Amino acid sequence: MTGLAGRVYLVGGGPGDPELLTLRAVHLLQKAEVVVYDHLVSSAVLDFVSSTAERIYAGKRRNEHTMRQEQINGLLVKLARDGKQVVRLKGGDPFIFGRGGEELQALAAQGIAFEVVPGVTAASGVSSYAGIPLTHRDYAQSCLFVTGHLKDGSADLDWHNLVRPAQTVVIYMGLGGLPEICRQLMAHGAPPSRPIAVVQDGSIATQRVVTGTLADMPEKVLQAGLRSPSLTIIGEVVRLHDALAWFNPLATEATATVRC
């Protein structure tokens, strides 16, 4: 890419398993001069980055931001103006709770050229590896993606819409607020027996899946010691996990060890 005008490639890194990357994403990671990446990007995905590329960590965790969003926007603009070929690498898909749209707005306002490479979104990838279909004719005819971040400790989700039957609700970034989320769903009419799953490290060797109900899930998650990144799936489709769980993280880890 050397010698070309500066350009930013907004690339989705998928849920973690590097084999879920698109061919376009792999090509750009191998050719980029600079890669600006997030906390949710797995180390296995970063292995595709060229050894000559500059790596800049711009990760965000709950209450811990390496860079503010405005700083990231400014960095991308500066790198492109310096003539660099930049990959802005995000976990999952950059247009689903990834602030990809905000970053592209900043680039567009400055006349910076960009391209978007979608990735397998966390909801699709993680649920697939957990053996939980997001829709099923017998259980769910619709699916909602929401973010579980709670503002100032208060819940600001559309609870009445989230408690409807025959749908699946996928909550990103909801682990910290899980007790309040479960409480609010039950307070707004969801039965305490509604199934729920929390999947930690979906699609990679450290994946863990804990299932339960709205009534008992906060305690189960606490006892299991689950941590972020985790995805929460709520709905009758969770009942299919036991029968459809195909991914064996221990077998995956053993295979990786043998290959090394």
**CATH assignment at residue 67:** 3.40.1010.10
Give me the catalytic one of 31, 47, 60, 93.
Answer: 60
The answer to whether residue 104 is domain-embedded is yes
- Predicted pLDDT at 62: 59
- Predicted pLDDT at 250: 74
Residue 150 CA to residue 100 CA, distance in Å, equals: 21
Same domain, 102 and 43: yes
Residue 153 zone, left/alpha/beta (φ > 0; ψ -120 to 50; rest): left
| Domain extent for 151 | 123-244
Same domain, 233 and 138: yes
Same domain, 135 and 185: yes
Name which of 97, 93, 101, 96 is nearest 117 in CA terms.
93
pTM assigned to the model: 0.90
Rounded average pLDDT over 163-191 = 96
Q: Number of structural domains, the chain?
A: 2
The answer to whether residue 249 is domain-embedded is no
Tens of pLDDT along 83-123? 999 999 999 999 999 999 999 999 999 999 999 999 999 99
Tell me, yes or no, if 156 is annotated catalytic: no
Which of 75, 101, 120 is the C-terminal boundary of a domain? Answer: 120
Same domain, 112 and 148: no
Residue 151 CA to residue 95 CA, distance in Å, equals: 21
Give me the catalytic one of 38, 84, 90, 201.
Answer: 38
Q: What band does 257 get if pLDDT is binned at 50, 70 and 90?
A: very low
Tell me, yes or no, if 78 is annotated catalytic: no
- Predicted pLDDT at 258: 40
